[in-house]
């Protein structure tokens, strides 16, 4: 093989993985992609290899999405080819013992067939095969082997003041020693680490207590399972699905806000929810809003269901401040370099000074996934500059940050802000700009005025005109009210930031 083709393949594949990571590719899928080995790139096709047929099939199913990122990275259309190859990285370990291949295969089969004891295993890390239920004849799940080697663990989670409560609650749930954290509901805007915590719970259980069956599903996956079972002409399919879910020990549902308009799935979920809770099993949910906010607007969640989700421990993850962003950047920087060294990926072994990392924290936005991609970009470019005898400069970092978080390029109107606030708080435009002084209307009105001042160039008098002809003093009062409330109430601050980001991101 041409060494240049192999080198180009490695560079292109790593750049593509970075783009997929930034685009929110599910962690389990990313883990499979990262396990694939880039083989060659001939200018029109990128060949990657895997020794597992399952991985080949799953990656091929994602080809369209991956090829979109390949085109971004290569600046031209590139086809993805997933080859099934022999695992050349596996080398035999020399020991004093000798065993035939037939004996080794028999031992593996015996291990796979041995029934697992239901007693709780010690909390220390054990090397145990993925658990299987004792009642093999009943429909059920296995603990998901796809994420057994995932990097989404508690050890790799960067905790700070903004996410410490959620972090500690997730650890309590994972070790199963505190039944008061049930259900656990974690909420916050996209990209703040909710999925990391949920996967960390699952990874911990698989590694430390495989006798507990833990099932992770996104709301979209849950809805699809329900849809398939419901459309099955055999009534037994629905009963089987119900028994499968009610047989788990820990049920984790991510992005539960995506169920808001799926009435049938919501009913099925709460039947499962109630059955599990009645039997002392653990429920964990995550969403981009609090349980009470899930019931707003045209949602099919009713008050009884949202209050049920809010009946245990509800914690928020909030946008990172400068200190947490710096800690995140330092952690991502160290881990990417360590992973690159261990996995022999040289182009992520660049050096970024602490002073430049501080600048990165100053210029970074609040989405942790994007911050991780920012660090990845800076590391790759630091390595490339070092190959030329140069070093990464402040100007380079500012340029990369501006590419990730562009500013001053969008014109945001008062109407856009008002529509976003009306949708978020489920209020009408007439009420938002009208004269009613109900308590339920005061917060959205104050927030809309504050955001208009923050995101547009309108004068206070102009803002007043857009909000029913309010006076200069009234507009100033709204702005002061929001500024004061943000300082006193971190949850309110998080709501305002979520709205702010939804408006600027929508552009």
Size of the chain, expressed as the number of residues it contains: 507
Decide: residue 52, CB within 10 A, 0-12 exposed, 13-18 middle, 19+ buried.
middle
Q: What is the pLDDT of residue 3?
A: 53
Q: Which of 5-19, 199-213, 353-367 has the lowest mean pLDDT?
A: 5-19
Q: What is the pLDDT of residue 348?
A: 79
CB atoms within 10 A of CB 373: 19
Q: What is the pLDDT of residue 444?
A: 93
Distance CA 83, CA 37 (A): 10
Once rounded to an integer, what is the mean pLDDT over residues 242-269? 89
Mean pLDDT of the chain: 80
Angle, alpha carbons 344-345-351 (nearest 5°):
110
Q: What is the pLDDT of residues 367-376, one digit of tens each?
A: 888 899 999 9
Give the strand order in the sheet containing 79-84: 37-41, 45-50, 79-84
Residue 506 pLDDT greater than 70, yes or no = no
Distance CA 116, CA 136 (A): 11
Q: What is the pLDDT of residue 253?
A: 94
What are residue 152's phi and psi, to 5 degrees? Answer: -85, 80
Residue 282 pLDDT greater than 60, yes or no = yes
Residue 56 pLDDT greater than 70, yes or no = yes
Q: pTM of this prediction? A: 0.57
Decide: residue 401, CB within 10 A, 0-12 exposed, 13-18 middle, 19+ buried.
buried
Quick one: which H or E segment has residue 505?
helix 490-506
Residue 90 pLDDT greater than 70, yes or no = no
Strand partners, 252: 216, 284
Q: What is the pLDDT of residue 185?
A: 94
Per-residue DSSP letters for 268-332?
Answer: HHHHHHHHHHHTT-EEEEEESS-HHHHTSTT-S--HHHHHHHTSSEEEE-----HHHHHHHHHHH
The pLDDT confidence band at residue 105, using thresholds 50, 70 and 90, is very low
Residue 77 pLDDT greater than 60, yes or no = yes
Residue 408 pLDDT greater than 70, yes or no = no
CA 419 to chain centre: 27
Q: What is the pLDDT of residues 16-26, one digit of tens each?
A: 998 888 887 77
CB atoms within 10 A of CB 431: 16
C-alpha radius of gyration, the chain, whole number: 26
> Which is more confidently placed, 486 or 217?
217
Q: What is the pLDDT of residue 110?
A: 44
Q: What is the pLDDT of residues 205-255, one digit of tens each?
A: 998 888 889 999 999 999 988 888 887 766 676 777 888 888 899 999 999
Residue 329 pLDDT greater than 90, yes or no = yes
Q: Which residues contact 134 (CB under 8 A, 6 or more apart)?
A: 115, 116, 118
Helix (H, G, I), strand (E, B) or coil at 108: helix
Q: What is the pLDDT of residue 91?
A: 35
What are residue 184's phi and psi, to 5 degrees? Answer: -100, 125
Q: What is the pLDDT of residue 137?
A: 40
Distance CA 380, CA 348 (A): 5
Q: What is the pLDDT of residue 449?
A: 94
The pLDDT confidence band at residue 28, using thresholds 50, 70 and 90, is low
β-bridge pairing 184-187 and 214-218: unpaired
Q: What is the pLDDT of residue 232?
A: 73
Q: What is the pLDDT of residues 140-168, one digit of tens each?
A: 666 655 554 477 899 999 888 788 889 99
The pLDDT confidence band at residue 134, using thresholds 50, 70 and 90, is very low
């Amino acid at each position: 093989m041409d060494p240049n083709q192999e080198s180009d393949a490695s560079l292109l594949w790593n750049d593509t993985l970075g783009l997929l990571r930034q685009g929110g590719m599910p962690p389990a899928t990313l883990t499979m992609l990262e396990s694939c080995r880039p083989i060659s790139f001939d200018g029109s096709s990128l060949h990657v290899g895997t020794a597992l047929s399952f991985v080949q099939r799953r990656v091929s199913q994602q080809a369209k999405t991956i090829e979109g990122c390949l085109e971004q990275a290569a600046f031209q259309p590139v086809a993805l080819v997933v080859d099934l190859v022999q695992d050349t990285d596996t080398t035999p370990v020399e020991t004093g013992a000798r065993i035939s291949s037939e004996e080794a295969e028999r031992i593996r089969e015996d291990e796979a067939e041995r029934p697992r004891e239901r007693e709780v295993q010690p909390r220390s890390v054990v090397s145990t095969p993925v658990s299987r239920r004792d009642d093999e004849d009943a429909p059920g799940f296995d603990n998901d082997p796809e994420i057994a080697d995932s990097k989404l663990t508690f050890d790799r989670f960067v905790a700070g003041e903004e996410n410490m409560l959620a972090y500690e609650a997730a650890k309590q749930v994972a070790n199963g020693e505190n039944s008061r954290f049930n259900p656990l509901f974690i909420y916050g805007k996209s990209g703040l680490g909710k999925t990391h915590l949920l996967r960390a719970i699952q990874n911990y259980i698989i590694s430390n207590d495989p006798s507990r069956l833990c099932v992770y599903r996104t709301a979209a996956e849950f809805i699809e399972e329900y849809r398939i079972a419901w459309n099955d002409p055999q009534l037994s399919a629905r009963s089987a699905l119900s028994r499968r879910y009610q047989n788990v020990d820990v049920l984790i549902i991510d992005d539960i806000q995506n169920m808001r308009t799926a009435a049938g799935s919501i009913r099925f979920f709460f039947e499962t929810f109630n059955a599990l809770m009645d039997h002392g099993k653990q429920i964990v949910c995550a969403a981009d809003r609090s349980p009470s906010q899930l019931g707003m607007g045209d949602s099919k969640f009713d008050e009884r269901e949202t209050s049920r989700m809010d009946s245990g421990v509800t914690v928020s993850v909030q946008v990172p401040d400068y200190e947490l962003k710096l800690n995140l950047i330092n952690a991502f920087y160290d881990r990417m370099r360590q992973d690159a060294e261990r996995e022999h990926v040289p182009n992520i072994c660049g050096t970024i000074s602490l002073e430049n990392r501080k600048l990165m924290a100053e210029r970074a936005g609040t989405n942790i996934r994007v911050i991780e991609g920012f660090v990845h970009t800076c590391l790759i470019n630091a390595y490339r500059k070092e190959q030329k005898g140069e070093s990464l400069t402040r100007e380079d970092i500012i340029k990369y940050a501006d590419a990730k978080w562009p500013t001053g390029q969008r014109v945001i109107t008062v109407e856009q802000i008002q529509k976003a606030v009306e949708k978020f708080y489920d209020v009408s435009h007439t009420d938002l700009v009208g004269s009613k002084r109900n308590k339920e209307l005061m917060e959205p009105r104050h927030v809309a005025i504050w955001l208009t001042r923050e995101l547009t160039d309108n004068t206070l008098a102009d803002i007043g005109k857009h909000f029913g002809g309010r006076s200069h003093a009234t507009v100033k009062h709204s702005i002061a009210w929001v500024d004061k409330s943000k300082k006193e109430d971190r949850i309110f601050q998080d709501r305002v930031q979520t709205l702010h980001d939804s408006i600027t991101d929508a552009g």
